[in-house]
Structure 1
Amino acid sequence: MTAQDRGLAALGLDGVPALQPLTYPGLPVTVPSLLTDAELLPLLAQRGGLGAWTVDGAGHRPHRSLDEVLTGLGRAPVAGRLPVLAVGSNASPGQLSHKLARLGVPGGVPMVPVRLRGIGIGCSAHIGRAGYVAAAPYSSAEARAALVVSWLDEAQLAAVDATELPNYRRVRLPGDAYGMSLPSGERLGEAYVYVSARGLLADPVTGAPRPGGGDQAVLLDALLDASPRLRELLGPDAATWVRRAAADPELRARGTLLFAEEGWVLPWTELPVPPGRARLFYSLLAGTVSSPLSS
């Protein structure tokens, strides 16, 4: 297999939602992989920690460990990196590569689907710079999923942080509380995740968080249909929404304010919440119990 075969374009993973907003959240990594500047190389899971996993790809000797390949590329080994969980487009190698390249930060990022519990995916209650409504996590006792974790070095972490602030905050998730499990069967001790600082959009029927991470055009069209004021501002359709919003910060701010004025915003801006307490938060939302934080 040639190096070109491992390129993002050849793999169909070169899409960048920041440049094509209606493709948000983009196509995620589905198997353990190492994202270099130009390739997506398979990682072969084994016991002994992520750094000991082997890299399978053109230009690399068989059975070379991930740490060996990273250091050979002049990048930090796994021990010098922070695991960051993606609930939206950071799981897409095309998007992540774009975020790093635009700030001149070298690639070399392990990206691994990790099984966990307790994290649901909603919609952040704001309109992002690219014009789309991005995903955001929340606590959900029933949720079970495989979400991509990327191990970022110091420069990569700073670059990704810069794309998330001020609308998101990075918080720590303890691995035991969320049952994080690597494909090797080993437990992941911790990960970090970006939590919306703007709250979450509510489902108008149930009052629970509106599901996020799906078809962006469907989401935006549904929001336009639900609000004549939003339709007047950004409509009549999803394509018009992202074109107008991406071009005008004032329109994004006005649209974000309309979310609150329509009564769609859940002020859920904290994680982690113990997963067993998720039902309590639904009760608080419905007004059936008093908040322990209000005393």
Structure 2
Amino acid sequence: MTRRRRLLALAAVVGMLALSGCLGLLTGGSVPDQRLDAEPPDGAYAWNESVDDDLNAHITVRDDATFSAVYAVDGDEIRLFRRDGLGGTNPLGVRAVRYRYPNGTVINGTQLRERGDVDQTRDEVVIELPGEGDVEGDRIAFSADSTPKRFALPAYVNGSYELVLPQNRRTSLPVFGDITPAPASTSIDDRGRQHIRWDEVDTDSVIVQFYLPQDVQIFGGVFAVFVVIAVGGLLYYRRQIDALRERREEMGLDVDVDDDDIGDDGPPPGMR
């Protein structure tokens, strides 16, 4: 009877986890329709930039720590994930998924799931394309969350990339900015956005650390204040030492004793 009660209790716990959605964290699950069909940022994706420039990936980073990406997939599927730092992966939280046929027709995420597939496991999101993965025309696009002042994402496809930073962000100053892998070129458009271009990306990830110019100014101001405080503290310490030395001299405590004078009176009492 005890064993039966334990099995019933275990079944009840599993049922509660399934009802609460916690079990989905272990077994994966479907991406909700409202996420798939959400409106893309700015109302549309950069299809033309990707197709006209013959790019394999075009990524736009926004100042609200989100990004939009358009990929030309060389194959019939794309697997979207983020590395967790422990050797594993987690599914990328995609939303506003769109697919563009080579003839320019665009369908939303739920239509894509009907004609291809959009499946989420505990490790990744797998999108199966309804077309043939023709890099000359069809594209897959989605949006997801990024990180303030740092963009890092696995390179889902090889080939040419372009990444556009938010307005007035820069990467040129060491420590504050960095680009991995090294780009083929960078440029600033008339809106003050930095464009980073790679002719060929064959690394595991694309990582860009960027900053606002005022961030450097703020850091410089804080560093200057720190230096002033440090120098002031050092001068104060030296003055205190000098004042202490003067007081000791006035009290006759600083009397030099020559080594030759030591031992002239013979050994201490009791040892003669």
Whose helix fraction is larger, Structure 1's or Structure 2's?
1
Bigger relative contact order (CA 8 A; separation at least 6): 1
TM-score bracket for this pair, using the shorter chain length: under 0.3
Whose strand fraction is larger, Structure 1's or Structure 2's?
2
Larger Rg belongs to = 2
